[in-house]
């Protein structure tokens, strides 16, 4: 017969395998639920009750034609101003409008933008005044 070693009971082994499989299935179900939740969060990163993010993603740039169409849709005559027509310049100004003077902002613009994309102090003042008269509170995110 055997030399002192006992053979394990086949039914006990099958029972242990079934218990291990059930535990593995529970882990798989938990991981699947987490993955579904993560996918829902990624596909809808905006908080509930918020219609759209506060700022558009950085990789979305409006074309000049789209900006002009938006300008006309708002029933404003003429063409968009230099600041309104350049989303990068407008974002640059918005990031500094609450902390710097107009002269400091113009100096920063001259350092960071080529001459054909630079705005003057009068354009900056006109843009800020138009924002206020239209009721828009264009401020940096830190001041809101």
Tell me if 76 is assigned to some domain. yes
Question: Tokens at residue 117, please?
Answer: 């994309």
Question: Tokens at residue 123, please?
Answer: 């354009």
Tell me if 4 is assigned to some domain. no
Whole-angstrom distance, CA of residue 57 vs CA of residue 121: 28
Whole-angstrom distance, CA of residue 58 vs CA of residue 46: 16
Tell me if 3 is assigned to some domain. no
DSSP state of 100: S
User: What torsion do the CA atoms of 90, 92, 97, 103 make, to the nearest 10 degrees?
Assistant: -100
70 and 106 share one domain: yes
Tell me if 58 is assigned to some domain. no
Q: Where do we find the tokens 């006992």?
A: 6
Count of domains observed in the chain: 2
The per-residue pLDDT string of the chain (144 residues; one tens digit each, 9 = 90 and over) reads 455 457 778 888 888 899 899 998 888 888 888 888 777 666 655 555 555 555 555 555 566 677 667 767 776 667 777 888 788 888 898 888 889 999 999 999 999 888 888 888 898 988 888 877 766 544 444 444
Are residues 87 and 94 in contact, defined by beta-carbon separation less than 8 angstroms?
Answer: no
76 and 33 share one domain: no
Tell me if 138 is assigned to some domain. yes
Would you tell me the crossing angle of helices 102-112 and 121-133 to the nearest 10 degrees? 120
72 and 133 share one domain: yes
User: What is the span of the domain harbouring residue 37?
Assistant: 9-44
99 and 34 share one domain: no
| SS3 letters across 31-88 | HHHHHHHHHHHHHCCCCCCCCCCCCCCCCCCCCHHHHHHHHHHCCCCCCCCCCCCCHH
Question: Tokens at residue 58, please?
Answer: 């950085």
Tell me if 1 is assigned to some domain. no
27 and 81 share one domain: no
């Amino acid at each position: 017969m055997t030399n002192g070693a006992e053979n394990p009971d086949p039914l006990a082994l099958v029972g242990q395998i079934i218990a291990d499989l059930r535990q593995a299935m529970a882990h798989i179900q938990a991981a699947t639920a987490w993955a579904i939740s993560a996918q829902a969060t990624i596909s809808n990163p905006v908080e509930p009750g918020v219609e759209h993010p506060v700022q558009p993603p950085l990789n979305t740039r409006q074309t000049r034609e789209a900006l002009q169409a938006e300008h006309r849709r708002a029933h404003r005559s003429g063409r968009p101003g230099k600041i309104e027509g350049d989303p990068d310049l407008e974002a640059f100004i918005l990031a500094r409008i609450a902390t710097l003077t107009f002269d400091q902002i113009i100096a920063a613009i001259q350092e960071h933008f080529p001459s054909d994309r630079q705005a003057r102090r009068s354009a900056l003042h006109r843009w800020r005044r138009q924002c206020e008269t239209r009721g828009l509170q264009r401020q940096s995110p830190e001041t809101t």
